[in-house]
Chains A and B, each alone.
Chain A
Amino acid sequence: MNYLSTLRGEIIKIKRTSLLYFTFLAAVFTPAIMLLDNIDGTPDKDFGLVDPYKAFYLGTFPFIAFILLPLFIVLITTLLIQIEYKSNTWKQVLASPQYLHSVLLSKFVVVQGLTILMLLIFNAFMIGVAAAIDYNYPQFSILNYLKSFDRLWYLNARTYIATFGMSALQFWLALRFRNFIAPLGIGLVCCVMSPILLLELKWENVMDKFPHALSIVVGVKQFEKIHVWAQWISVMYMVIFLVLAYLDFNRKTMKV
């Protein structure tokens, strides 16, 4: 009961914040580009050459998994924790009958909820875009990409799981720094560096030492053998960073 009450409180706190707008914008950004790109009379040249899932969905998803989703998580994690710092409400939160681990876990669950919501809205809009393309160019049967639902579902699920580690790391950083610039800056640098180090510089050490790189690892076919392993690494990072976040915040709570 206590945990659910805490979670309910955390959900109320995000009402009317920019978090929900960012979630929506991050979700519709790629589908909107897809729509504009394919409705103006020049559909993607790959349509019809390969199966609709690969041509329509798999061609788009890397942008989400490699760039947009990590950046989105950096942003919402920082903004969510900033609600307490900006409102100067930590003292009141900690003086209420709630356990610190419940408060922190509830906040992390809200971050995860927003991430899932972002992926759901993205997929819903992708269906809409596919339907629009299908309507204009029925010869490509783009909407048939949904027949590969199991592949689509698995890609989304493993990408999401691969963000656990970076999500928890950003969560810890956001709690640690009262100023939002630091966690945001560190997160942005990590998000930009990850694809460069992994894909351009072929620095494979990045795979397990850089939580921000894991969502790329699980999205690239050349790393197919370690997709499952990368997800476990992500879960392990999540546990480590959440424990660190708790211990660190518990230690510094008294100065909040």
Chain B
Amino acid sequence: MISNTTTPAIRTIGLGHQFSSGTPTLHEVNLEVPHGEIYGFLGPNGSGKTTTLSLLLGLYKLQRGKIEIFGQPLASKRMEVLKKLGSLIESPSLYGHLTARENLEIYRAIYEMPRERTREVLAIAGLEETGSKKVKNFSLGMKQRLAIAQALLPRPQLLILDEPTNGLDPNGIIDLRELLRTLNQTHEVTILISSHILAEVEKIVSHVGILSKGKMVFQGTREQLMKMTSAKLVIRTSNDDKALSLLEVYKPEKQNGTLSVPIVDDYRAGHINRLLVDHNIQVFSIGTQETNLEQLFIQLTTAS
């Protein structure tokens, strides 16, 4: 989906945070979530995703850097900003002794929403039939759906969802993906969705940010990330420096005693092999190495 405005929905500049233990949790995080897009915020457990999202919601005091949401500084316009967004942070925050409707009613007036909105979001979450059943008797999946309904209550322009698929069964995950896609495409809701599992979000996101040990190790479009996954031809030779200059046109890289070049087809592999042999360079081994998204994610998050 193409952004309808140039102002990013979320922009952080040099965001840093550390807890009282003294260990920095975030270092210079420059997050940029384009308006109208679905942004997958990925990283292994403990990478700082929830801390970042908590900072975006003003739940933690800003220690270093700046946060802008819809171009407005969060520090001075927090109330205005919060009215435009819905959020789900970590586990569902619900009152177990109340019904689904009552849980939503608590926030409906705060967001100045009409009475019908409660019914609408219950229907969106598929919970309109729960009646007087108390939330403590809901399954984890139902609680997660109610938490998402709660996040949708203010008709948000921006949704911040922290691991929203936790507790959902495969069908629930598919339903959630469809819901997020519809919200994004039909209602132009910008969505920031965090996960530690790339496969869960890669199907719906247009942009990706990968956080590892508090640092952004990748940020860009999904296509840019996909390009990094292309297969490579890995070559071991008797003279790497000479081979590098010979293969310059293929933009080779030298790493750990091997050369690698992006592979297009088998003919390129044959051509490269012949070229090296013709120039008296011995080819000890030549072969392709596939890197899928999952491997790339692991590489990016362990390399840092």
Binding site for B on A (CB under 8 A): 1-2, 4-6, 8-9, 12-13, 15-17, 83, 86-99, 253-254
Contact = CB atoms under 8 A, between A and B. Distances in A.
A95 B58 CA distance: 7
Nearest to B80: A97
B105 A12 contact: yes
Given A15-B102, A254-B60, A92 B93 contact: yes
A8 B108 CA distance: 10
Given A12-B98, A91-B54, 13 more contacts: A8-B109, A9-B105, A9-B106, A13-B106, A88-B91, A88-B93, A90-B93, A91-B90, A91-B93, A92-B87, A94-B57, A94-B58, A96-B110
A95 to B, nearest CB: 4
Interface residues of B, number: 29
B1 interface: no
Nearest to A16: B97
Nearest to B160: A95
Per DSSP, are chain B's interface residues mostly helix, strand or loop, or mixed? Answer: loop
Interface in B78-115: 79, 82-83, 87, 89-91, 93-98, 102, 105-107, 109-112
A6 B108 CA distance: 10
Interface of B: 54, 57-61, 79, 82-83, 87, 89-91, 93-98, 102, 105-107, 109-112, 134, 150
B190 to A, nearest CB: 17
Per DSSP, are chain A's interface residues mostly helix, strand or loop, or mixed? Answer: helix
Contact of A87 (B89, B96, B102): B96
Contacts of B109: 4-5, 8-9
Nearest to B111: A97
B102 A91 contact: no
B217 to A, nearest CB: 26
A254 B59 contact: yes
A5 B109 CA distance: 5
8 contacts: A5-B109, A5-B110, A9-B109, A86-B96, A89-B95, A91-B89, A92-B93, A253-B59
B95 A83 contact: yes
Contacts of B93: 87-93
B93 to A, nearest CB: 3
Contacts of B105: 9, 12
A90 B57 CA distance: 13
Contact of B61 (A17, A98, A254): A254
B244 to A, nearest CB: 52
A16 B103 CA distance: 13
Counting chain B CB atoms within 10 Å of each CB, which of A1, A83, A254 scores highest? A254
A99 B57 contact: no
A27 B188 CA distance: 54
Contact of B79 (A86, A92, A99): A99
